[in-house]
Amino acid sequence: MHTPWAHRYAHRTQRMGSSAIRELLKLTEKPDIISFAGGLPAPDVFPVVEFQEACQRVLQDYGAQALQYGTTEGYLPLREQIARHTARYGIQVGPENILITSGSQQALDLIGKILINRGDRILVESPTYLGALQAWNAYGAEYVTVPMDKSGMNTDAMEEALRSGPKFIYVLPNFQNPTGVTLSLKRRHKLIELADRYGVPIIEDDPYGQLRFEGEHLPSVVLLDHRFRENGNGCYSGNVIYLSTFSKILAPGIRLAWVIAPQEVIAKLVQAKQGADLHTATFNQIVAHEVSRHGFLDQHIKVIRDTYKERRDVMLAAMDRFFPAEVDWTHPEGGLFLWGTLPKHLSAAEVLKVAIERKVAFVPGDPFHPNGGGHNTMRINFSFSRPEVIMEGIQRLGEVIHELIGNPVKVG
Ligand SMILES: Cc1ncc(COP(=O)(O)O)c(C=O)c1O
């Protein structure tokens, strides 16, 4: 049926479409489905009591300020707190290099708004984060892809992509969404060197870097940018825009994240954000600041790491036990996801259809590949479900894959 609106939508809406992830997330709302589909943090470790107490303190001590409009850049004490927090990971910047956004998803959208003209190419990993594609499709982006392997984006294959003149490079160096893979230190250096040589800036999206539960922390790409070290005045003016978020270290429901960028970029992003939402919710910012104080954030991140490590271990052990030998999967050292590769002749979308009948869900990998491919891959989340549920869900999924491969096996 045609409504009066149908012919009025802007051209940019043509490539919007609802994402496969969002559609699938609807299924996870059914209580009897074991869902490895969403990128959801473990709800059982949300610091509900701390939030409750912080809300009360904020309303009591700063009620009027918390309920008032705020500055677009974000609540200064929160930006200062983020600066102190990231300094622990070597990223030493002042609040003038930091913009608070309503989730990193908004940061991706604002980046699209200030940088992408219709037809601009963006260099992305393949597979890459679906939410970034969703944000940038609306601005008319095209993609030039670089394949991933178990050490992250294959920087040896980058030069060809760079020769096509991309506007910027989008990289997820830590426990990538969707693969769970980490970009090796050698490749981080190579990435910086190539980006410099071709004069192409980098967007580093790092929601999971603090959730490492194994192996050594690797320096962020922004930190490897030589302009970071050269410039001793604590003000960054280099080639990288860095994104991170409170979604995976506190709670996604508060929609709070931050961008670290050169001041001139922050100024442009601020103008773009004013048109979007004026500023991120003042109340949420003050509450997050209050909750995170006195070392609570560090303490809480440790709890999350321990919880996710246990869940990852249970999932890997269950996959060893229940998955057919023809299936391969990554062993992430942190984050929320792992990535399965089925035999070439098997489509993950077909597997999902049967899996849903058996009340278990994951996300098929093809939508994460902007230029096609990946039909036999699957993103599997291990952070959301409790260990015993993970065990049960992976057993069901293993049985489905066994059956579809053609050797029905009941593993007992
Ligand atoms: C790579 C990546 N970037 C950005 C986001 C969006 O995060 P936020 O909740 O801060 O909007 C996510 C969420 O899963 C993500 O995986």
For a ligand 1 pocket test, name from 19, 100, 102, 104 the mutation site with the most ligand atoms within 8 angstroms of its C-beta: 104
Q: What is the pTM of this model?
A: 0.95
Give the distance (Å) from ligand 1 centre to CA of residue 80. Answer: 22
Give the whole-number percent of the chain exceeding pLDDT 70: 94
Q: Is the pLDDT of residue 411 over 90?
A: no
Cβ contact 235:264 at 8 Å? no
Atom 7 of ligand 1, residue of closest alpha carbon:
104
Give the distance (Å) from ligand 1 centre to CA of residue 104. Answer: 5
Q: Residue 30's pLDDT band (boundaries 50, 70, 90)? A: confident
Radius of gyration of the chain (CA): 22
Cβ contact 213:309 at 8 Å? yes
Q: What is the pLDDT of residues 297-337, one digit of tens each?
A: 999 999 999 999 999 999 999 999 999 999 999 999 999 99
Say what the pLDDT of residue 178 is.
98
Mean pLDDT of the chain: 94
Say what the pLDDT of residue 230 is.
64
CA distances from 117 to 25, 27, 114, 143, 167 (A): 31, 35, 9, 13, 9
Residues with CB under 6 A from ligand 1: 39, 103-105, 129, 131, 172, 177, 205, 207, 245, 247, 252, 257
Q: Residue 25's pLDDT band (boundaries 50, 70, 90)? A: low
CA distances from 304 to 15, 310, 398 (A): 36, 10, 27
Say what the pLDDT of residue 106 is.
98
User: Which atom of ligand 1 is nearest the CA belonging to 108?
Assistant: 4
Give the distance (Å) from ligand 1 centre to CA of residue 8. Answer: 31
Q: Residue 412's pLDDT band (boundaries 50, 70, 90)? A: very low
Query: Between 232 and 174, where is the model more confident?
Result: 174
Say what the pLDDT of residue 4 is.
87
Give the distance (Å) from ligand 1 centre to CA of residue 207. Answer: 6
Give the distance (Å) from ligand 1 centre to CA of residue 402. Answer: 33
Q: Is the pLDDT of residue 198 over 60?
A: yes
What is the rounded average pLDDT of the residues 66-79? 98
What is the rounded average pLDDT of the residues 32-52? 95
Say what the pLDDT of residue 228 is.
76
What is the rounded average pLDDT of the residues 165-184? 98
For a ligand 1 pocket test, name from 221, 247, 285 the mutation site with the most ligand atoms within 8 angstroms of its C-beta: 247
Q: Which residues of 200-216 are buried (b: 16+ CB within 10 A; e: fewer)?
A: bbbbbbbbbbbbbbeee
For a ligand 1 pocket test, name from 105, 170, 183 the mutation site with the most ligand atoms within 8 angstroms of its C-beta: 105
Say what the pLDDT of residue 95 is.
96
SS3 letters across the chain: CCCCCCCCCCHHHHHCCCCHHHHHHHHHCCCCCEECCCCCCCHHHCCHHHHHHHHHHHHHHHHHHHCCCCCCCCCHHHHHHHHHHHHCCCCCCCHHHEEEECHHHHHHHHHHHHHCCCCCEEEEEECCCHHHHHHHHCCCCEEEEEEEECCEECHHHHHHHHHCCCCEEEECCCCCCCCCCCCCHHHHHHHHHHHHHHCCCEEEECCCCCCECCCCCCCCHHHHCHHHHHCCCCCCCCCEEEEEECCCCCCHHHCCEEEECCHHHHHHHHHHHHHHCCCCCHHHHHHHHHHHCCCHHHHHHHHHHHHHHHHHHHHHHHHHHHCCCCCEECCCCECCEEEEECCCCCCHHHHHHHHHHCCEECEECHHHCCCCCCCCEEEEECCCCCHHHHHHHHHHHHHHHHHHHCCCCCCC
Q: Spell out the residues 6+ positions from residue 392 whose beta carbon is closer than 8 angstroms to its own.
A: 34
Q: Residue 227's pLDDT band (boundaries 50, 70, 90)? A: confident
What is the rounded average pLDDT of the residues 390-396? 98
What is the rounded average pLDDT of the residues 265-270? 98
Q: Residue 229's pLDDT band (boundaries 50, 70, 90)? A: low
What is the rounded average pLDDT of the residues 60-89? 96
Strands 328-329 and 257-260: unpaired
Give the whole-number percent of the chain exceeding pLDDT 90: 86
Dihedral angle over CA of 32, 36, 37, 43, nearest 10? 80
Q: Residue 79's pLDDT band (boundaries 50, 70, 90)? A: very high
For a ligand 1 pocket test, name from 133, 148, 179, 245 the mutation site with the most ligand atoms within 8 angstroms of its C-beta: 245
What is the rounded average pLDDT of the residues 57-69? 97
User: Which atom of ligand 1 is nearest the CA belonging to 256?
Assistant: 10
Atom 13 of ligand 1, residue of closest alpha carbon:
39
User: Which atom of ligand 1 is nearest the CA belonging to 248?
Assistant: 9
Give the distance (Å) from ligand 1 centre to CA of residue 103. Answer: 7
Query: Between 234 and 353, where is the model more confident?
Result: 353
Q: Residue 124's pLDDT band (boundaries 50, 70, 90)? A: very high
Say what the pLDDT of residue 409 is.
54
Cβ contact 243:233 at 8 Å? no
